[in-house]
Chains A and B, each alone.
Chain A
Amino acid sequence: MTNSVVKEPSMLLQKDMISGHYSKLARAEETGNTVAYTFVPGNLTELMLAFDMLPVHPEINALQNGMRKLSGEYIAEAERAGHSEDVCTYVKCDIGMSLKGNVGPTGEKMPPPNLLLLSYTGCFTFMKWFELLRERYDCATTMLHVPYQAEGHITKDARDYVVKQLREVTIPALEKASGKRYDEDRLKEFLARSAKAEDDLVWVLESAKHTPSPIDAYFGGVYYIGPLFTAFRGTEAAVEYYRALRKEVQSRIENGEGPLTPEGQMRDQRFRLVVEGPPNWTHFREFWKMFYDEGAVVVASSYTKVGGLYDRGFRHDPDRPLESLAEYCLGCYTNLNLPSRVDLLVDYVNDYHADGFLVNSVKSCDSFSSGQLVMLREIEKRTGLPGAFIETDLVDPRYFSAANVKNRLESYFQMLSQKRATANAS
């Protein structure tokens, strides 16, 4: 592994955006900004921004801490405080960070929340996580119950239920916590900017249909979704970021180039893959390199849909502000039922001309992981392609066995090569 990490210019742009946001958070108390902790899936960023509240996403802190090798110690701290070894490590990483003084991943102190905005979308653990944080911070909490898409589509009853909660519970809670009145026109301005950036994100994600693919839609994809899935959706900065990113990808398409990886440009693309499940963060670069070394590029992934399925047509809509926020919450990937998840992945395999697909099953996450073995078999059956299954974790370094993962991947790629050789010979 080389030490110098190659980065796309848009990544540097994003890095500045993120560090700027963490600095704003660190200064929140002196600048008088109010702060809402909230989750990525189904986040209500535009609504929070309409109240000038700064969002904090505990999962993002956890994954950033994972990438910076801080998560192991935080998890140990939470386990020492009585948290079970069995439960989601994002929660423990966050609680551990809080127990150790709530210093964020950039080394700056995180402000305590003025409000815990529990948008309960797609994950049961979110509810427990914020009950735990509420005990720590003893602050206002508001719950937005987002029903599951059990029937494979968004029902009118579910949308009406979410809209009514937004109007009668969430907005009053935001008004109270921020001390500001709800201004729907302002919300609409944010939503209009969101839709612009969303168009560009979709363009970028779909660029992977080209051969060679100009992007990696998993390892690179997690960077591409960053601004839209977190604190920046609805901002001019996000619009500019996605415009710049699109240009960058456009130029790679024109030059027939592959994505930039930490090891350098990916030229030889031997395998096109679809990936289900979140990445491992503690060994992110090492994990990516295993793919790079084999010439495997990820052309579509489900993880890049946890904060919204924009590629299936959803856009925030300033003409239907609360309805579109409700549909957004209802539509995130982990809120889809298992058959819909299978349909989506099968479509990805076909639409992106994938050679195979891989499930990275993380120990932490029942929402993602429970049922993935069944999904694997169903996708194999419906695409006729063999799939691979590996097990890691999100931020607990104890559950990343590099040798096992590498072996598994190598044998999978060997099998794909053999299949290809046999197909070419016949």
Chain B
Amino acid sequence: MESRLTPPTAIGALIARCEELIADLDLGNVRAWRAAHPGRVVIGYLPIYAPRELVHAAGGLPVGIVGAGEELEIVRGDACFQSYICHLPRSVIELGLSGKLDSLDGMIFPSTCDVIRNLSGIWSLSFPKKWVRYLDLPQNFDASMGGVFYRGILEGMLRELCELSGVDPKHADLRGAIRAFNANRRALRELYALRAAEPWRAPTSEVYVLVRAGLLLPVEEHTTMVERYLGLAKAREARPLDNARVALRGAFCEQPPIELVKTLERAGCYVVDDDFLPMLRWPERDVDESGDPLDALVAAWLDTPLEAPSRYTRCNAEKGQVLIDTVRSTRAEGVIFAAPSFCDPALLDRPMLLGALDRAKIVHTSFKYAENTGQMQPIREQAGTFADSIKLWGEA
């Protein structure tokens, strides 16, 4: 029936479905998946990266947990975290303690920062019967050191996930999982490429929710959804506006309210690249589908030029290089650095990234947000001034 809708209406329906999924903090679709797949596991994972292929291979559903946005009233979460700690852990714990994450059999906490690291311990204390794993992603990128260590972790996790879901590890289809996620990441790369080329056809306010739905949907379903959007977006009638093209950085973990993304657009920005939700897009290349699948996942982490504050950069020249290359390849005219308040990784990284941008003569502006920031006016004014100055003077 939907196929008879014109592109704008069909896109509207598709985006509305994504928004609905994201707004449902009780994870209705995950509960439905569980009911339809008895005996199979649902495993949550936090930012910024976890090899979801392992969960899929064990017959499970990986579900990305990135906080609760602005809708959830935080009571128990505030009793767990001091005011000077970012917002994400308090909303995650609020979701957990209020039973909204009961459909998850376990959680993976990647080594993103000390807050998520310690949250893994809080989780173990709060939910002693659930499976909890801390994922120590190696900061040594040599295959014989970090690689060996990481492979050991992945082997252990796969074994445990298979045990949890009653799957014989010999039958865990890791290569099939890699294929499924490669297809998804390819679709997302195409989506990002379309937005960079013609942001008026694929505005970030749509792209963002479309990508974010991938936290909650089975990967195959999400790939189909992204492909469908791509077809519709390419066919839609849309004209470019005289907006400033910007890349956005700093929002790799705690997510801004969707309203903030819309505010940037209203302020005259085309966001042509961003670092939202890296867990869905990393590695930004295909994982090898032919060799040993665990080795392929190890190599995906070790060898891909991933740039995020949680990952060690081995020399000064590396710092900010991926960002600068992206600014150039997407023809961004400036960078908006938007970081969560009290986010040490983002905020300690910021002076180095801004320095790299200055040296490359790329203009930038910075502000902070929280996932429940309600007041958009100051951001609108700041982004508007930045966009105007890019357009008027070619620089901010």
The answer to the question of B118 belonging to the interface, with a C-beta cut-off of 8 Å to chain A, is yes
The answer to the question of B82 belonging to the interface, with a C-beta cut-off of 8 Å to chain A, is yes
B348 touches A120 (CB 8 A): no
Instruction: Give the contacts of B312-350 with A (CB-CB under 8 A).
Output: 312-316, 319, 341-345, 347-350
Known A338-B125, A367-B117; further 11 A-B contacts with Cβ < 8 A = A86-B347, A124-B114, A124-B344, A127-B139, A128-B345, A131-B349, A134-B316, A150-B120, A150-B136, A338-B124, A370-B118
B111 touches A366 (CB 8 A): no
A88 touches B136 (CB 8 A): no
B145 touches A169 (CB 8 A): yes
CB<8 Å pairs between A and B, sample of 6: A84-B368, A88-B344, A124-B117, A131-B349, A143-B140, A165-B145
Report A113 CB to chain B, min CB distance, Å: 14
Interface size on A, residues (CB 8 A): 51
The answer to the question of B375 belonging to the interface, with a C-beta cut-off of 8 Å to chain A, is no
A342 to B138, CA, bound (A): 27
Among the listed B122, B148, B352, B354, which residue makes an inter-chain contact with A374, where contact means beta carbons less than 8 Å apart?
Answer: B122
Interface string of B289-312 (1 = CB under 8 A from A): 000000000000000000001101
Among the listed B115, B134, B312, B316, which residue makes an inter-chain contact with A370, where contact means beta carbons less than 8 Å apart?
Answer: B115
The answer to the question of A175 belonging to the interface, with a C-beta cut-off of 8 Å to chain B, is no
Report B52 CB to chain A, min CB distance, Å: 19
Report B137 CB to chain A, min CB distance, Å: 9
**Which 6 pairs across A and B sit closest by C-beta, in order of nearness?**
A338-B121, A150-B134, A128-B348, A161-B149, A84-B347, A145-B139
> A123-B114, A157-B149 given as contacts; is B349 within 8 A of A128 (CB)?
yes
Interface size on B, residues (CB 8 A): 56
Q: What chain B residues lie within 8 Å of A338 (beta carbons)?
A: 118, 120-122, 124-125
Interface string of A109-148 (1 = CB under 8 A from B): 0000000000010011101110110110010010101011
Contacts from B to A (Cβ < 8 Å): 79-82, 84-85, 89, 111, 113-115, 117-122, 124-126, 133-134, 136, 138-140, 142, 144-146, 148-149, 152-153, 309-310, 312-316, 319, 341-345, 347-352, 354-355, 368
Q: What chain A residues lie within 8 Å of B120 (beta carbons)?
A: 150, 337-338
The answer to the question of A81 belonging to the interface, with a C-beta cut-off of 8 Å to chain B, is yes
Q: Which residue of A lies closest to B349 (CB)?
A: A128
Q: Tell me what chain A mostly uses at the interface: helix, strand, loop, or mixed.
A: helix
A127 to B312, CA, bound (A): 7
A373 to B81, CA, bound (A): 7
Q: What chain B residues lie within 8 Å of A108 (beta carbons)?
A: none
Instruction: Give the contacts of A337-374 with B (CB-CB under 8 A).
Output: 337-339, 341-342, 361, 363, 366-367, 369-374
> A120-B139, A370-B115 given as contacts; is B354 within 8 A of A82 (CB)?
yes
Q: What chain A residues lie within 8 Å of B309 (beta carbons)?
A: 128
The answer to the question of A158 belonging to the interface, with a C-beta cut-off of 8 Å to chain B, is yes
A367 to B354, CA, bound (A): 26
Q: What chain B residues lie within 8 Å of A370 (beta carbons)?
A: 81, 85, 89, 114-115, 118-119
Among the listed A83, A88, A120, which residue makes an inter-chain contact with B351, where contact means beta carbons less than 8 Å apart?
Answer: A83
B342 touches A161 (CB 8 A): no
Q: What chain A residues lie within 8 Å of B145 (beta carbons)?
A: 161, 164-165, 168-169
The answer to the question of A199 belonging to the interface, with a C-beta cut-off of 8 Å to chain B, is no
A169 touches B140 (CB 8 A): yes
A147 to B348, CA, bound (A): 21
Interface centre among A145, A158, A168 (most CB of B within 10 A): A145
Q: Which residue of A lies closest to B109 (CB)?
A: A150
B146 touches A131 (CB 8 A): no
B121 touches A131 (CB 8 A): no
B114 touches A165 (CB 8 A): no
A342 touches B352 (CB 8 A): no
Q: What chain A residues lie within 8 Å of B113 (beta carbons)?
A: 124, 366
Report A138 CB to chain B, min CB distance, Å: 7
Q: What chain A residues lie within 8 Å of B341 (beta carbons)?
A: 86
A366 to B82, CA, bound (A): 10
A117 to B141, CA, bound (A): 17
Report A339 CB to chain B, min CB distance, Å: 6
A158 touches B348 (CB 8 A): no
Report B310 CB to chain A, min CB distance, Å: 8
The answer to the question of A378 belonging to the interface, with a C-beta cut-off of 8 Å to chain B, is yes
B82 touches A82 (CB 8 A): no
A308 to B153, CA, bound (A): 25
Report A415 CB to chain B, min CB distance, Å: 20
Report A102 CB to chain B, min CB distance, Å: 18
Among the listed B117, B314, B348, which residue makes an inter-chain contact with A129, where contact means beta carbons less than 8 Å apart?
Answer: B348
Instruction: Give the contacts of A56-83 with B (CB-CB under 8 A).
Output: 81-83
Among the listed A145, A366, A372, A391, which residue makes an inter-chain contact with B140, where contact means beta carbons less than 8 Å apart?
Answer: A145
Interface string of A310-339 (1 = CB under 8 A from B): 000000000000000000000000000111
A161 touches B148 (CB 8 A): yes
A135 touches B316 (CB 8 A): yes
The answer to the question of A6 belonging to the interface, with a C-beta cut-off of 8 Å to chain B, is no
> A87-B344, A369-B82, A371-B119 given as contacts; is B355 within 8 A of A135 (CB)?
yes
Report B163 CB to chain A, min CB distance, Å: 16
Report A168 CB to chain B, min CB distance, Å: 7
Interface centre among A81, A134, A150, A165 (most CB of B within 10 A): A150
A371 to B344, CA, bound (A): 16
Instruction: Give the contacts of A359-402 with B (CB-CB under 8 A).
Output: 361, 363, 366-367, 369-374, 378, 391
B351 touches A157 (CB 8 A): no
Interface centre among B125, B133, B354 (most CB of A within 10 A): B125
Q: What chain A residues lie within 8 Å of B345 (beta carbons)?
A: 124, 128
A371 touches B84 (CB 8 A): no
Instruction: Give the contacts of A77-109 with B (CB-CB under 8 A).
Output: 81-84, 86-88, 91
A366 touches B115 (CB 8 A): yes
A369 to B113, CA, bound (A): 13
Report B80 CB to chain A, min CB distance, Å: 5
Among the listed A83, A138, A339, which residue makes an inter-chain contact with B316, where contact means beta carbons less than 8 Å apart?
Answer: A138
Q: Which residue of A lies closest to B144 (CB)?
A: A164
A363 touches B84 (CB 8 A): yes
Q: Which residue of B lies closest to A393 (CB)?
A: B84
Q: What chain A residues lie within 8 Å of B319 (beta carbons)?
A: 131, 135
B342 touches A86 (CB 8 A): yes
Q: What chain B residues lie within 8 Å of A165 (beta carbons)?
A: 140, 145
Report A306 CB to chain B, min CB distance, Å: 14
A147 touches B136 (CB 8 A): yes
A124 to B310, CA, bound (A): 8
B344 touches A128 (CB 8 A): yes
Among the listed B122, B142, B313, B368, which residue makes an inter-chain contact with A131, where contact means beta carbons less than 8 Å apart?
Answer: B313
A131 to B355, CA, bound (A): 13
Report A317 CB to chain B, min CB distance, Å: 23
A157 touches B349 (CB 8 A): no
Q: What chain A residues lie within 8 Å of B343 (beta carbons)?
A: 86
A288 to B37, CA, bound (A): 60
A128 to B351, CA, bound (A): 11
